[in-house]
Amino acid sequence: MPISADHPLRRLFSELVTRNLSTDHEVVVYVGNLLIDFVRVDHLYRIRNARGKRLEEVGEMLVESNPLLDGRSFEREREVRKHIGDYTLFLTGMLPGYVGRCRTLRGRGLRLDSLIDYVKAGKESYRVVGAFDQFEYRLAAPLFRRLSEQFEYCVYGLNRVKRDLEVLRQEQYRFWKKSLLDS
């Protein structure tokens, strides 16, 4: 079930993104909606390969997006590349510690993502999506080109959103602690 337009979480994310990402309105709206979309973890991991396996690594997603490798079509390439841009933007902005851990060993083998630069993969993926500028994608293409060009700025803005959310959490904790102790 989608989160409604007037849901308090949507308003909170919109306010925080607007405050911390004073770029063009369309980018701000897109990034705010991205945060809402990824509230649901199944959306974070929505890309599956042809066998139905959930893809959790950017390297696997890159292979899945390539029409010369596992990708099924150019339409699929656009879908997966858009997700890679969203996924890497979200993780580098909101969970940079996780991205750092992606470079470590998993079990006994090396993780594919240990070889991937998330910022480079995200910028490149948005650039590819922006190159789909014909027919039904014509109007959306300029936004994705701007997301590619402003990727690092968006990551920085999301880092600030994360910081603001942490401050709000601490303020709320102090409020409830004081309320409970005073009663």
174 in a domain, yes or no? Answer: yes
116, amino acid identity: I
Residue 67: φ, ψ to 5°: -65, -15
Residue 180 predicted with pLDDT over 80: no
Count how many residues are written for the chain: 183
Q: Using one digit for the tens of pLDDT, what is the confidence trace for 28-79?
A: 999 999 999 999 999 999 999 989 999 999 999 999 998 877 667 889 999 9
> For residues 104 and 181, which has the higher predicted lDDT (pLDDT)?
181
162 in a domain, yes or no? Answer: yes
Structural domain for 148, as ranges: 8-182
Cβ 125 vs Cβ 118: under 8 Å: no
For 61-70, the CB contacts below 8 A with 24+ separation are 61/87, 62/116, 62/121, 65/125
List, in order, residues 6 or more apart from 58 with CB less than 8 Å away. Answer: 84, 87, 88, 113, 116, 118, 121
Cβ 75 vs Cβ 144: under 8 Å: no
Domain count, the chain: 1
DSSP label of 39 = T
Strands (E) located in the chain: 105-106, 109-110
2 in a domain, yes or no? Answer: no
Q: Using one digit for the tens of pLDDT, what is the confidence trace for 79-132?
A: 999 999 999 999 999 999 888 777 665 555 567 787 899 999 999 999 999 999
1 in a domain, yes or no? Answer: no
Task: Please tell me the pTM assigned to this model.
Answer: 0.90
60 in a domain, yes or no? Answer: yes
The alpha-carbon radius of gyration of the chain (Å, integer) is: 18
